[in-house]
Amino acid sequence: MKKRKMFAAVALVASMILSTAACGGSTSGESAGGTVSNETVASGGVSSYVDDDGKVVVNLQREDGIQSLNIWNYTSGPNYMFAEMVFDSLYTSNHGGDCEPLICTGYDLSEDQKEVTLHIAEGVKFFDGSDCDADDVYTEMQYIAEHKDEMALFATNWKYLEKAEKIDDHTVKLYLSEPFFSLDISLAYTYIAKAEEIEQYGASLFSSVETLNGTGKWKLDEWVDGQYLKFSRNTDYWQGGDFSNIDTLYLWFISDPTAQNAAFINGDIDYINNVNVDLKSMLDPVADQCEMNEMVAETMYYLQFKMDGTAPTSDQNLRYAIMHSIDREALCALMGGGVVMNDFYTQHAEGHQDDIPAIEYDPELAKEYLAKSNYNGEELVLLSRSDISYADSIMTAMADYMNQIGIKTRVDMVDTATMNSRRTDGDYDIFMVNLATWDGNALTQNLVPRIVEDMHSSGYVNEELNDKILQAFGDMNKESRTKTLEEVGDMLYDLQGPIVPLMQIIRTSCTRKGLTGMIENPLSGYIFTDVSVEEEYLK
Amino acid sequence: MVKFFAKRILCLLLVVWIVSVLAFVMMRLAPGDAAVMALPDYASEAQIAAMRVKLGLDKPYITQYLIYLGDLLRGDLGTSVLYEKPCLDVIMERLPATLSVTIVCSIMVLIISIPLGIIAGVNKGGPIDFFAVLFALLGQSMSVVWICVLLLLLCSVKHNWLPSMGYNGLFDVKYLIMPAIAMGYKMCAGMVRMGRSGMIDVLSEDYITCAYARGMSRFEVNCKYAFKNSIIPVITLFGMDVAAMLAGAVIIETTFTIPGIGSMLVKAVSNRDYPLTQSTLVVTAAMFAVVNLVVDIVNAFIDRRMKLN
């Protein structure tokens, strides 16, 4: 009996080891599928973009899904991606500051720059075949002017819009309370809906897939919450339906890094938005079928100090001590790659200066600054959000660095809601989060809301600094605006507060060979409005 | 019988009410502001205040609860702040995937665990018993995350047997096999263990000796007496596990891209979507109570000593 037991145990353990060892990855064999809604998706290791019915099907991936189709309430990447597929905007943007005319072919500014005359393109069509003209643009702009405070997307973008006026069938005039530099960008986030539908449904216009009536290159066929968005090419697109040869495009929401890689190897998806740095080698077996694109994303991790005059971190020497105590190169290594930021701005943002030296890791100098400071041993709390990639490791390492030079520090990781609440209440010493530099400038998302308006309650007020930031915000001349932003950057560098950038992140996307027409998005990955498949991959 | 059902339905309602109170209180106790979460980061104080009024959060807690309870009694679960649509619609969109995984998982667990546990108990000390004990031990000690990754690598990456992601309805079972294994292996291990020990206990009872003394065959004794009496705790455990599965499993849903109720609930909680969180908890609590009621009825039919009244 003992022998039999032993044999059974050995057999079981051996089979388990074998099955585990078998997990090296392979490209051979037929794919089990990825079949959804009776349509075959790419399968079989080497993805065949053509399905059984002869249709070209491409599968893309993002980490986070969308919760709503309401394009007026967007604040995150996947939402914008959906919006720009289905709805054409007045201008088009690559999210890096480069804007081109689209529905609006151009505009004229009055002398005081408070009146903007928009010229609307001819021949723009909605999905239902009706014309998109000045009526639709006027109705939407007027709706925005009246409801902007309720609309997340427009609360900032059209902050200064007072009213709209229809001049003729292809001209609309906007009246602004103040001129602002980001007019092109605001036009690029204004996705046009149909006038009658805006009047009839208001904000409920985007409540279902069936009611979506855009002018964009792709029609949304299906949205399965938590799973995918399914688009079909708008063959009647007003600028011609031959911009792509893809019939059906899926955007899958897969957040687990192993699952993303497995789906790519298996042929279920053709694009990974960001390959996890620790799992890159998993894709080695399919390296000949894909292209990895490593890019420094215009997204930074930053620290915000409480600077209300009573908090210990109000002391400039303490902030310098903290910044010199942190080895940011090591933090980048911890994240699997990153770039230490030398000044306040990300690499491609207006105002960035390459020649400014980054604050160096120098524990001895940090101790000197600490000795000069008024710090008297109180415990500092490093606050961060648990859903930010690598935040817990970064926070732990930072606390360790600070403790080593004698700053008593502990880490507090919280969820998003708690973080938002504590930031609003100013209940922190130092917090760390990440922030994307949308549209190549730090003004709309960073400097104006976070420093001038102090939306996260740092308590710091500097009229001279605020004036300079607002001067840049209202300056439509790029050259002088950049100069002002450099001055702002210098002031913030000297202060090392209330916001101090740490590093920019590196993201790696993985694209199956054959996909073309993708527009690089400086924030990460690509814009897919013009995605297509090379002819040789369709054979 | 009628009295039994009336009593149980009252209990069910009581459970649902208690859950609704707890969900309401816990959400309000959690740090974070639902109005802040419903708006972008740069929302002004005025916007936050307006949102608070819109969500009804400006009213006293007791008023908020009474409004919520009144809506609940009328079958209105409220409107999700996150999804901007009725909570019932959001839940009904997510529930089929969770139910499908639960059904496939339950069938798989029943087919494996009950025969294995019973046979192991009958053949105590034999190779099958040894295998069953080892299986139970390994099953209960393995991490779900590890199993998920292992299944993906083995069944999808290495051998391409199963799709790595997605859900296409209950009848497209290939999408449900890996999630069902990942969800059910621990439950299976627990039930094997419970079935085995139940069978061993029952077989040592006097009435079993008595049955043998009356000349009954081993097969007859095991099937007619031992099995019936040993299965009751297994069914109870099965009911509890199935009910728990109905609340969703975040890791499994995330790994296999299953649009289930678990990941939706996590999203609702972290965004402080009060109506959706409360409604989901109430619905899952009701399902939990119903499954337990069914378990009690099944147990009563198996063992006549457990009268329904």
ipTM: 0.83
Nearest Cβ partner for B152 among A70, A262, A421: A262
Which helix (H) or strand (E) segment is A413 a member of? strand A409-414
- A282 CB neighbours in chain B (<8 A) are 157
Confidence tier at A91 by pLDDT (50, 70, 90): very high
pLDDT at position A32: 38
Stretches where chain B sits below pLDDT 70 are 42, 304-309
pLDDT at position A265: 92
Average pLDDT over residues A131-139: 95
- A75 CB neighbours in chain B (<8 A) are 40-41
pLDDT: which is higher, A51 or A461: A461
Q: In this predicted structure, which of A16-20, A480-484, B176-180 has the lowest mean pLDDT?
A: A16-20
Residue type, A57: V
d(CA A385, CA A403): 21
Nearest Cβ partner for B160 among A30, A68, A226: A30
Q: From the candidates A421, A433, A444, which should be mutated to test the interface with B, based on the most B CB atoms within 10 A?
A: A421
Does the pLDDT of residue A25 top 50, yes or no? no
State residue A410 phi and psi, 5-degree precision.
Answer: -135, 160
Per-residue tokens: B239: 């009911």
State residue A270 phi and psi, 5-degree precision.
Answer: -115, 0
Nearest Cβ partner for A9 among B134, B150, B263: B134
Verify whether the Cβ–Cβ distance A252 to B165 is below 8 Å. yes
Does the pLDDT of residue A155 top 80, yes or no? no
Verify whether the Cβ–Cβ distance A227 to B90 is below 8 Å. no
pLDDT at position B307: 60
Verify whether the Cβ–Cβ distance A68 to B84 is below 8 Å. yes
Confidence tier at A24 by pLDDT (50, 70, 90): very low
d(CA B252, CA A295): 31
Shortest Cα–Cα distance, A119 to chain B (Å): 31
Shortest Cα–Cα distance, B46 to chain A (Å): 9
d(CA A28, CA A24): 12
d(CA A172, CA A167): 5
pLDDT at position A134: 95
pLDDT at position A72: 80
Following DSSP, what letter does each residue of A310-330 receive, concatenated? SSGGGSHHHHHHHHHH--HHH
Nearest Cβ partner for B161 among A8, A28, A32: A32
Per-residue tokens: B265: 């609930």
d(CA A19, CA A491): 60
Does the pLDDT of residue A343 top 90, yes or no? yes
Verify whether the Cβ–Cβ distance B157 to A266 is below 8 Å. yes
User: What single-letter DSSP state applies at residue A50?
Assistant: B
Nearest Cβ partner for B160 among A29, A152, A156: A29
Which chain B residue shows the shortest CA-CA distance from A11? B131
Q: How confident is the prediction for chain A on average, in pLDDT? A: 87
Q: Which of A142-151, A230-239, B263-272 shows the highest mean pLDDT?
A: A230-239
DSSP 3-state helix, strand, coil percentages of chain B (rounded to 5)?
A: 75, 0, 25
Verify whether the Cβ–Cβ distance A254 to B167 is below 8 Å. no
Residue type, A163: K
Displacement of CA A502 from its chain's centroid (Å):
18
- Mind listing the pLDDT tens digit for each residue in A262-321? 999 988 999 999 998 889 999 999 999 999 999 999 999 999 999 999 999 999 999 999
